[in-house]
Structure 1
Amino acid sequence: MNAPFLHIDRPAADRVAHPGSGTATIALIVPVHNEEGAIAPFLKAVCESIDPLQEHGVTFDLIFVNDGSSDATLERLIEARQADPRIRVIDLSRNFGKEAAMTAGLDSCDADAAIPIDVDLQDPPHVIPLLVEKWREGFEVVLAKRANRSSDSFLKQRSASTFYRVHNWIAQQKIPHDVGDFRLIDRQVIEALRSLPERRRFMKGLFAWVGFRTATVEYVRDRRIAGQSKFSGWRLWNFALEGITSFSTAPLEIWTYVGATISALSFLYGLLIVAKTMIFGADVPGYASLLVSVLFLGGIQLLGIGIIGQYLGRVYAEIKQRPIYIVRRKYEGMN
């Protein structure tokens, strides 16, 4: 039987990472999918930000996870690795999605802390020293919060704001507004995330669920330097559904009350018809009102079945116990 709680602690000899003194290694976790044009600018900007930190005892690994790219992304990463031994490349067997790619990077991370970061430089590397500074103060999680979303379109700004509000209204586990995957997480947080067995992973929710002492730094999100966003409107909608169904059963519970309310109104309407018939005599109901009622109730039923299907689909995916990702090859060490 599994323990009802999880205790994660490092041996005393390993606790040298985030106190103010001592050396530490931090891994940048960089999922990439068809980003060949962004690799070189990203590495240039990152090195300008992290190299000065070596004077303060902080070294970095760069773990790139190639998430089934069909362009020359893998070739560019291998070339970069030959020039910089800090770079490690995990090549997945196909495109598993960003959440799975990030999980693969965290699973391969053996550093004292990790920073998931996008390769398109919308997560600016110059924020990394600020994250490290807060970590050195003793925080196990340091969030990078967008001060504004001016780089996003109006529609994306409104949809993101709506998602955060709806999610935090119905979910027990709240997620911070305007905070993406860009953050620093301590080794203990990494181990806690590794212990979570679920296959359908909503990383923003999982980051919030594990908890730990948290600080926040703000930054202004830049525009993408190369390529195109892989998140279309449809994918963002499905991503939002994933987040809501991962951390809340409120849609199921709400539909219980919707059904009960419709049943109560139907019963009251039935009593009204009986009373009207007894007082005024028989009345022939209209065809239009009958048709509207049938279509309305049919739509309500289909919507309820769809909500149940969302949760049933998650259960189906979990019970199959398939791996979250499959690694085709790792480029690290001397290979």
Structure 2
Amino acid sequence: MHTRFQTKVSCQLSIVVPMFNEQDVVGVFFDTIIPQLELATDDYEIVCVNDGSIDSTWEKLQAHAKQNPRIKLIDLSRNFGKEIALTAGLDHSAGRATIPIDCDLQDPPELIPQMFEKWQQGYHVVLARRIDRSSDSRSKRWTSGNFYKIMGKFSEIELPQNVGDFRLIDRKALDVLNSYPERSRFMKGLFASLGFREYTLDYTRPERAAGTTKWNYRKLFQLAMEGFISFTSFPLKVWSYIGATIALIAFAFGGWMVFKTMMWGVDVPGYASLMVVTCIMSGLILLSLGVIGEYLARIFTEVKGRPIYIVMEREGFDE
């Protein structure tokens, strides 16, 4: 099975942490997560991916890595985005089980020993589900809830509601994920597409430990659009139904106009009604072309075959 970076399994548990401008939280993150990892197993590694940070994140990671050889570092050549940074970390993880986690500690490390225990009981994937998101804004909870509802209705896979990237993945499942070649990556959807034997743990989402979120509504909308387009062809197929409906209406209207002309003669056509029909049809045509363009843009990205990410420097890995 082909992967972008073939890693030999060398430990029990890998933690994968994408980071972008997280200088304020690096120390707190390691101080919090390492005791929890040691409760689960003493055979672990922490793979940190610096996603083109422009603050002192990389320097602080290097300082911690010098003190703890279990910390391994990947420095990407620029900011590729969280989904790609997470992909780079998963490619390089060497654990029999792997847990992606955000460094802001809104994914509580206290769940790691429970997740590891469930994995030892034979589960291939252990999901962490947020049952209380009161720490998020009301608008974010509303948009997130509606996104999961839309995905559940139209997606070709079942996307677990209120489950993020924070989960445990067995090596068997991770090898399958690492063989996925696509460059437009919606990781929650890719995780959900794996299947395997799952168990779900519930938790309450806490406040961010330090720093500020790097997400805004524009980025969240782009991520939602990526997920929707990557895992459903409904936006393309729906235009066949819209076109057929409009064609039937047009034929019916045309038949009515012929009958009306034959029975009562020709009326002077109205400018307003003509403009309304023209504007509606033009809008539908442009909207359908936009949907097709979204899919075509992703095809264009895939066929170029460029590397998903570029590693500028690695530290702590066996070359």
- TM-score, shorter chain, exceeding 0.5: yes
Q: Which amino acid aligns with 1:63?
A: V
Helix, strand or coil at the partner of 2:48: strand
Q: Out of 75, 82, 88, which is 2:59 matched to?
A: 75
Cα offset, 1:273, TM superposition: 1.6
1:289-320 Cα distance to aligned partner (Å, 9 max, x none):
11111111111000000000011011100000
Residue pairs, 1:1-335, within 5 angstroms: 25-54=12-41, 58-332=42-316
Q: Which amino acid aligns with 2:68?
A: D
CA distance in 2, matches of 1:334, 1:190: 20
CA distance in 1, matches of 2:134, 2:242: 38
Cα offset, 1:111, TM superposition: 1.1
Q: Aligned pair count?
A: 312
CA distance in 1, matches of 2:163, 2:20: 22
Cα offset, 1:332, TM superposition: 0.9
Moved more, 215-224 or 225-234: 225-234
CA distance in 2, matches of 1:289, 1:98: 49
Q: Which amino acid aligns with 2:96?
A: D
Q: Which amino acid aligns with 1:300?
A: L
1:75-100 Cα distance to aligned partner (Å, 9 max, x none):
11001111111101100000111111
1:108-148 Cα distance to aligned partner (Å, 9 max, x none):
11111100000001101101111111111100000000012
Cα offset, 1:243, TM superposition: 0.5
Q: Which amino acid aligns with 2:17?
A: V
CA distance in 2, matches of 1:81, 1:332: 8
Q: 1:108 to 1:296 in 2, by over 3 A?
A: same
Cα offset, 1:215, TM superposition: 0.5
Moved more, 78-87 or 320-329: 78-87
Helix, strand or coil at the partner of 1:25: strand
Structure 2: segments with no counterpart, 5+ residues: 2-8
Structure 1: segments with no counterpart, 5+ residues: 3-13, 18-23
Cα offset, 1:264, TM superposition: 1.1
Runs of 4+ in 1 over 6 A off after TM superposition: none
Helix, strand or coil at the partner of 2:95: coil
The answer (yes or no) to whether the contact 2:132–2:204 under 8 Å persists in 1 is yes
Q: Which amino acid aligns with 1:128?
A: I
Q: Which amino acid aligns with 2:244?
A: A
Moved more, 271-280 or 33-42: 271-280
CA distance in 1, matches of 2:20, 2:266: 69
CA distance in 2, matches of 1:110, 1:97: 22
1:266-288 Cα distance to aligned partner (Å, 9 max, x none):
11111112222222221122211
Helix, strand or coil at the partner of 1:210: coil
Q: Which amino acid aligns with 1:257?
A: Y
The answer (yes or no) to whether the contact 2:40–2:112 under 8 Å persists in 1 is no
The answer (yes or no) to whether the contact 2:127–2:167 under 8 Å persists in 1 is yes
Query: Structure 2 length as normaliser, TM-score?
Result: 0.94
Q: Which amino acid aligns with 1:86?
A: R
Cα offset, 1:250, TM superposition: 0.8
Query: Structure 1 length as normaliser, TM-score?
Result: 0.90
* Root mean square deviation, CA, Å: 1.7
CA distance in 1, matches of 2:283, 2:306: 34
Helix, strand or coil at the partner of 1:211: coil
Q: 1:290 to 1:334 in 2, by over 3 A?
A: closer
Helix, strand or coil at the partner of 1:147: strand
